[in-house]
Amino acid sequence: MIVNISFFYSKDLIIKNQINLKKAFQFISTRKLVDLTHSFAPGIPHWPGFPDEKREILYWYDEGVGTLGTGPFAEQFTLVGQWGTHVDAPAHLYKGLRTIDRITLDEMILPLVVIDIHEEVKNDPDYSLQLNKVHQWEEEHGKIQEGAFVALRTDWYKRWPDPDAMANKDEDGIPHYPGWGLEALKYLYEVRNITASGHETTDTDPGISVYVDNFTCERYILSRNCYQVEMLKGLDKVPETGAIIIVGFPKPLRGSGFPARVFAIKP
């Protein structure tokens, strides 16, 4: 009689994996979850080149409200993909690079690194992340993990949902808000090999750069076929290291980006 030992071995592994996943869920369920996502609606801060969101109630419980009549509450949303807290796919700026439906599942659950520059921003709203600040972070917390999601904390999200406060324009109409620095980004993506990055402002680059159509930092990230998340919130409520970020979003075929639901699992 020949016994298929591999069958029993495989079954044993499956049982072990089920137990491990159960333990993982039990552990995660006791952790605190932090919402890093703004609710979106018409009138929220957005890139001025985009039209505002439009909403239409198609069906409502009572008569006289829904444009198509009564029934289960249903709405039609008309908005650009880059709306509210959202994901920018590489194809947003580069023809032939990945669209949002090609971002893989393993890129959506990542170790979270938060680099805090909110004190620098208090003194200089035009501040951009410098490489020495990243080195300082690593001296304090250790080497940034390969494959991480790096988020830039500026506390700018506290100005939401006031478009004027987010833009922070001076008397000449020039916006003043913080952003990434190219040298720091190159170190994170090319030396530390991070997977993605995100920030609380409406743009990757600081406002004074965006004003003159200089999107160098955003172009750099997306040119690497990596994605980014814009207009995060609540980064002051998660630790600088040790948390996990979940970046969830719909899957429009060949989409350039889409509003996301992003949250962190605290250690």
3-state secondary structure labels for all residues of 40-76: CCCCCCCCCCCCCCEEEEEEECCCCCCCCCECCCEEE
Instruction: State the pTM of this model.
Output: 0.92
State yes or no: pLDDT of 10 exceeds 70. Answer: no
**Mean per-residue pLDDT, 39-52:** 96
Using a pLDDT cut of 70, give the percent of the chain over it.
94
Straight-line distance from the first to the last Cα atom of the chain, in angstroms, rounded to the nearest whole number? 52
Q: Is 92 a catalytic residue?
A: yes
Residue keyed to tokens 């035009």: 126
Sign (positive/negative) of CA torsion 4, 8, 10, 11?
positive
Report the range of poorest mean pLDDT among 10-24, 34-48, 72-86: 10-24
Q: How confident is the model at residue 173 (pLDDT cuts 50, 70, 90)?
A: very high
CA-wise closest residue to 160 among 202, 218, 204, 197: 202
Which among 237, 157, 163, 229 has a CA at the least distance from the CA of 200? 157
Catalytic residue, from 38, 92, 118, 199: name it: 92
Strand (E) positions, the chain? Answer: 33-35, 54-59, 74-78, 86-88, 109-116, 149-153, 196-199, 228-230, 243-248, 257-259, 261-265
Q: What are phi and psi of 57, to 5 degrees?
A: -80, 115
| Residue 59: both structure tokens together | 């069906």
What pLDDT is stored for residue 16 in this prediction?
66
pLDDT score, position 7: 42
Q: Which CATH superfamily is domain 33-47+82-265 in?
A: Putative cyclase (3.50.30.50)
pLDDT digits (tens, 9 = 90+) for 213-249: 999 999 999 999 999 999 999 999 999 999 999 999 9
Q: What is the mean pLDDT of the chain?
A: 94
- Over the stretch 76-120, which tens digit does the pLDDT of each residue have? 999 999 999 999 999 999 999 999 999 999 999 999 999 999 999
Model pLDDT, residue 83: 98
Residue-level pLDDT at 6: 47
> Does the structure show a pLDDT above 60 at 5?
no
Query: Could you tell me the residue ranges of all domains in the chain?
Result: 33-47+82-265
Q: Give the residue-averaged pLDDT of 27-32.
A: 90
